[in-house]
Amino acid sequence: MKKLKDLDLSSELDKKMYKKKLKVLQYEMLNAQQFLFNKKIGLILVFEGMDAAGKGGAIKRLTERIDPRGYVVHPISAPQPHELRYNYMHRFWRKLPQHGQIAIFDRSWYGRVLVERLEGFAKEEEWKRAYEEINDFERLLTDGDYIILKFWIHIDKEEQLKRFNDRATNPYKAWKLTDEDWRNRDKFDDYVLAADDTFKHTDTENAPWALIPGNNKLHARIAVLQETINHIEKEATKRGLHISNVFEKKGAKALAELEEIVQESKD
């Protein structure tokens, strides 16, 4: 069973190697996006983790080189008053991607078993029941034309405090730090326990959790890209499909057409 205490938070990656790997993996991610589009398979990526763990930075590098027309990032916060009129999953159904598109959730339906559980916004019977409801929701999607992968990016208390202080003194990042972040920090250990419970009940074959050590941001960003590409390839294989190099084929076709035009002009 996956647990946060088993993560090696000392994992590092130097900047030179980071840049090399980033270039290669971003190209592979672009190619994978084209594969998903052509096969009309939707990709759903969920990002959870401690405050200041680096979710935004990982999402930025994941999407930096892909076609902006083919993905959307949903930043999830507390439900609006009109959303409380419905089942808590209703607002997420409305944000699902079309087949062939990518949807990235920065926070997600797992709020029911994390923040809502710890802050008392959900009754005990509600958040305990939610594990099965979430599994059913994800199974319904992956039984169809969707791929789901869920990330938890983790940092320790010391690294979190360092990042909070960096944000507080940086005018370009101060907006990221809120009173709620400080309140959540007081419940750091409770969030670890709730996260481990979440992995225990919702780490499934069809919609697995990938636990990412986040103390080193460079390592975390590369790990997220690699896990995403690996999971897409795994799911493609299960469907009897193979991810070929789309751009290599397009380049060869364009070159052949160019040669044909040149030959015709000579004739």
Instruction: Compute the distance between CA of residue 83 and CA of residue 77 in angstroms, rounded to an integer.
Output: 12
Instruction: Compute the distance between CA of residue 63 and CA of residue 29 in angstroms, rounded to an integer.
Output: 8
Instruction: Compute the distance between CA of residue 216 and CA of residue 10 in angstroms, rounded to an integer.
Output: 8
**Please, are residues 7 and 200 in contact by the beta-carbon 8 Å criterion?**
no
Tokens of 195: 């996260």
Compute the average pLDDT of residues 214-221.
98
Per-residue pLDDT of 145-160, as tens digits, reads 999 999 999 999 999 9
Strand order of the sheet with strand 146-154? 71-75, 102-106, 42-49, 146-154, 209-213
Per-residue pLDDT of 46-60, as tens digits, reads 999 999 999 999 999
Banded pLDDT at 207 (limits 50, 70, 90): very high
Cα-atom radius of gyration of the chain, to the nearest Å? 21
User: How far from 142 is each of 12, 43, 64, 205, CA to CA, in Å?
Assistant: 33, 10, 26, 10
Q: Is 60 exceeded by the pLDDT of residue 258?
A: no
Segment (H or E) for 133: helix 124-142
Q: Phi and psi (nearest 5°) for 160?
A: -65, -45
Tokens of 145: 């034309």
Query: Given its phi and psi angles, is residue 261 left (phi above 0), alpha (psi -120 to 50 degrees) or beta?
Result: alpha
Number of H helices and E strands in the chain, helices first, is 10, 5
**Please, are residues 206 and 238 in contact by the beta-carbon 8 Å criterion?**
no
Per-residue pLDDT of 10-33, as tens digits, reads 999 999 999 999 999 999 999 999
Would you give the DSSP letter of residue 90? H
Banded pLDDT at 244 (limits 50, 70, 90): confident
**Please, are residues 207 and 234 in contact by the beta-carbon 8 Å criterion?**
no
Banded pLDDT at 200 (limits 50, 70, 90): very high
Per-residue pLDDT of 90-121, as tens digits, reads 999 999 999 999 999 999 999 999 999 999 99
Q: Which residue carries 């999971």 as its tokens? A: 231
Dihedral (CA of 155, 157, 160, 166) sign: negative
Q: Is 60 exceeded by the pLDDT of residue 254?
A: no
